Structure 1
Amino acid sequence: MSRSSDEEGSSRDGAVSPGDASGEFDDEAVLLVGHGSRREKSNEQVRELAVGLEERLGVPVDVGFLELAEPTIPEAIGSLAPAVSEITVVQLSLFAASHVKNDVPLAIQQARSEYSDLTLHNGSHLGVHPAIVDLLDDRAAAVEADLSVDREADDVAVVLCARGSSDPDANGDVHKLARLLYEGRKFDRVESCFVGVTEPRLQDALHDVAKHRPDSVVVLPYMLGDGVLTQRIRDRTAEFDDEYPYVDAAAGDPLGTDSRLLDVLGDRWQEARTDSVRMSCDTCKHKVELDGYEEDVGGARAMLRALTHQESHADRESVDEEPHTHDAPEKHVAVCTNQTCAADGAPAVLERLRQSVRDSEECDARVTRTSCLGRCGDGPMVAVYPDGVWYGGVDQNDAERVVSSHLDRDRIVSDIVDQTL
């Protein structure tokens, strides 16, 4: 992408300013990470935001995708690494769920190991931001105009509908955003809900809102792109509108490529490059033991899940699959090949595991290398996921036993178990 060094910074008070013509950022680039979609229109939206962000910051901005589209994050970093000494990763994710907490940090950690002379900063997600609240207010106003209602005179209820996550921290931010949208505005009420994964679901939220008999219900899809889930929200809203004739209901547009997202991305870029990123660790299920999520505590567990997710997209074939359907292997085996384990013979163990898996007629597993598992001196370390079984001091003969016993027959090799998660 071309570099622009004389564009104005964000118009929002306090937003970042771009580099100047002196070339302050000549050795820096930004990597905008999007989720990735089979719908090329959604991927083009990410690229469009990247162009706008480059113009806003005066820094080259490239795009990388987590899955389903190219280039991947490793490919994007690999293409930038020869040209710059510093890359700031900015994440086009609405909330801090598994992609933000696990998958992107894993990709960055792997890149740091591969490019020792490259400085990599990891930015946070879009999150709860005043510019996004303003954007949602405008999306609601557009629906109100279509319905010919006046929030000053009519009772208008808003239902903010997000995708839904298995991470309570991410879901909690949806409720916070809904409350911020309600404060100071003439809405009768603002409710939050989800289209999947968790509750309350959209249809339940709509029926609950109807009990208060508002004049109109505005449904706001809290999503970036216009895809399968957004259409599902529109369909459910239309069904509700037919079922309740005394309420006018309609769904608005997703966030899309609105320029206010550049305000947020610019702030996240500045935070990352100045090492001032703050994540909500006090409510992170990988950091603290939350009721109902006890089994998710632990950085090592999160890392292995990220590895599994990273591998699970490799064998997808059908473009008609539902979002996030995986054709994944039954087991994932991660072998630590960091310095200490490598010196103890981890590369040979890795190859013996791979060969044994190939030779087996029963085994459905993928074997990959990983960086340090935090058990230096007890290796070579081998972790089998999703079972959460870690083996220590594994040699080549043990590798064959791990395959023939654990992977083939689900029988743990007890004498080399280091720990279970």
Structure 2
Amino acid sequence: MSTPDQTTPAAAAGFDDEAVLLIGHGSRREKSNEQVRELAATLESRLGLPVDAAFLELAEPAIDEAFASLAPVASQVTVVHCSLFAASHVKNDVPLAIEQARADHDLEINNGAHLGVHPAILDLLDDRAAEVEAELGVDREHDDVAVVVCGRGSSDPDANGDVHKLARLLYEGREFDRVEASFIGVTEPTLEESLHGLSKHRPDAVVVLPYMLGDGVLTQRVRDWTADFDADYPYVDALAGDPLGTDSRLLDVFADRWQEARTESVEMSCDTCKYKVDLEGYEEDIGGARAMLRALAHQEAHADRDDIDEEPDSHDAPEKHVAVCTNQTCAKMGSPAVLERLRQEVRDSDHRDARITRSSCLGRCGDGPMVAVYPDGIWYGGVEDADAERIVGDHLDRDRIVSDLVDQTL
């Protein structure tokens, strides 16, 4: 806490009965959750306000529990997000939890923005890159150093676009040979694709920066994929750096987001939000009701899970991943109906560890609707919604390929 002769931001602003709730995602790795709690403690010292930590899933306390514990001691709570970008958690899940808390408690709740693209984060990433360069024994001023900023990947194009923006801003004004954006999954380019693409340019070194807060499962995956690339390409030195962690510069970002929320000056990228505007390939997501239903379904998927190691989590790699092309051509042929029917069949079947998602163009325009099943590498063509029952019942449940629908195998 601050000493008596110091004026904290909270005291200067005249906030007497306020608390802050720092919301993290939650991880199976307790080390990652402890990082969020450490950030909450240091932010408390920075702001001179009580700061509690809460988690969306996989860790405790949950958001509703945190609000319940703050309600007896505070009249207003300002939510500060650990989320790096504004995807579904920021746009759907947390706002829904806040509305529920407002209904359950006599609280004034201010909702802040995600961390986003911030100068302090750019400085932090630059330092993370310099640490890797030092370990590799290279110098960006004299060697060709390529950087890959690797995000988690989202079904929200606005969030994915910000990863590319961050990569570009990291490149501007610095002497890197190139800086590219990549993702662990969900969208493209994947880290593996970006690394193999960079190999063609034969840089002296490749620095991979995991754009993640905590040191969790995905961060380790970034390290593993980078190590595999380094072993496969002996003429390029490659190494992954550390995540953002608990670096003190994050407090600058948190403080800014707190101030914005408390003064009702939060700005969100509504012009490119898939829930508000008609974006190619995401037309079905428009509308607050759809966003709310999606958030409720996500919460239900994680509710009442006493042993998180016994049940597949929606962020783990599923046993089967079914991608349905919803690009313009396939959509006109009826792929949205196929997508919904597949999801319904999975819900009705015993095959719980399967994920049905939209996909961009699968490169088979005219042969659709296209449905791809991974990791089997089976592509079905000309699929109708009536075929969903066979794809789920035969292929997903019994591992029997629906031969008359096969377009190609990979």
Bin the TM-score by the shorter chain. 0.7 to 0.9
1:80 matched residue in structure 2: 70
- Residue pair 1:27, 1:84 contacting (<8 A) in 2 also: yes
2:103 matched residue in structure 1: 113
- Alpha-carbon distance in 1 for matches of 2:13, 2:191: 49
- Residue pair 2:21, 2:54 contacting (<8 A) in 1 also: yes
2:301 is equivalent to residue 312 of structure 1: yes
1:152 matched residue in structure 2: 141
Amino acid at match of 1:105: P
- Alpha-carbon distance in 1 for matches of 2:311, 2:130: 35
For the residue of structure 1 that corresponds to 2:78, the secondary structure is strand
- Alpha-carbon distance in 2 for matches of 1:135, 1:262: 12
- Residue pair 1:195, 1:233 contacting (<8 A) in 2 also: yes
2:116 is equivalent to residue 127 of structure 1: yes
- Alpha-carbon distance in 1 for matches of 2:5, 2:281: 49
- Alpha-carbon distance in 2 for matches of 1:72, 1:28: 20
- Residue pair 1:7, 1:58 contacting (<8 A) in 2 also: no
- Cα deviation, 1:303-341, whole Å, max 9, x if unaligned, reads 011111111112443426665359xxxxxxxxxxxxxxx
TM-score by length of 2: 0.74
2:241 matched residue in structure 1: 252
2:12 is equivalent to residue 26 of structure 1: no
Gaps of 5+ in 1: 10-16, 327-361, 365-421
- Alpha-carbon distance in 2 for matches of 1:128, 1:99: 17
1:334 matched residue in structure 2: none
- Residue pair 2:58, 2:308 contacting (<8 A) in 1 also: no
**Do the aligned partners of residues 23 and 155 (structure 1) sit closer, same or farther apart at CA in structure 2, a change above 3 Å counting?**
closer
**Do the aligned partners of residues 315 and 113 (structure 1) sit closer, same or farther apart at CA in structure 2, a change above 3 Å counting?**
closer
Give the counterpart of 2:224 among 235, 242, 250.
235
- Residue pair 1:157, 1:190 contacting (<8 A) in 2 also: yes
Give the counterpart of 1:175 among 143, 164, 169.
164
2:208 matched residue in structure 1: 219
- Residue pair 1:7, 1:18 contacting (<8 A) in 2 also: no
2:276 matched residue in structure 1: 287
2:263 matched residue in structure 1: 274
2:92 matched residue in structure 1: 102
Amino acid at match of 1:18: P
- Residue pair 1:32, 1:50 contacting (<8 A) in 2 also: yes
For the residue of structure 2 that corresponds to 1:219, the secondary structure is strand
- Alpha-carbon distance in 2 for matches of 1:281, 1:201: 26
**Do the aligned partners of residues 123 and 212 (structure 1) sit closer, same or farther apart at CA in structure 2, a change above 3 Å counting?**
same
- Residue pair 1:241, 1:248 contacting (<8 A) in 2 also: yes
Q: How many residues align?
A: 318
TM-superposed deviation, 1:245: 1.1
- Alpha-carbon distance in 2 for matches of 1:319, 1:70: 15
TM-score by length of 1: 0.72
- Alpha-carbon distance in 1 for matches of 2:153, 2:23: 20
**Do the aligned partners of residues 315 and 119 (structure 1) sit closer, same or farther apart at CA in structure 2, a change above 3 Å counting?**
closer
For the residue of structure 1 that corresponds to 2:9, the secondary structure is coil
**CA RMSD in angstroms, aligned pairs only:** 2.0
- Residue pair 2:148, 2:194 contacting (<8 A) in 1 also: yes
Give the counterpart of 1:93 among 83, 95, 104.
83
- Residue pair 1:5, 1:58 contacting (<8 A) in 2 also: no
- Alpha-carbon distance in 2 for matches of 1:167, 1:18: 34
TM-superposed deviation, 1:56: 0.6
2:49 is equivalent to residue 59 of structure 1: yes
TM-superposed deviation, 1:19: 2.8
**Do the aligned partners of residues 283 and 189 (structure 1) sit closer, same or farther apart at CA in structure 2, a change above 3 Å counting?**
same
- Alpha-carbon distance in 2 for matches of 1:321, 1:141: 40
Runs ≥4 in structure 1, deviation > 6 angstroms?
A: none
2:330 matched residue in structure 1: none
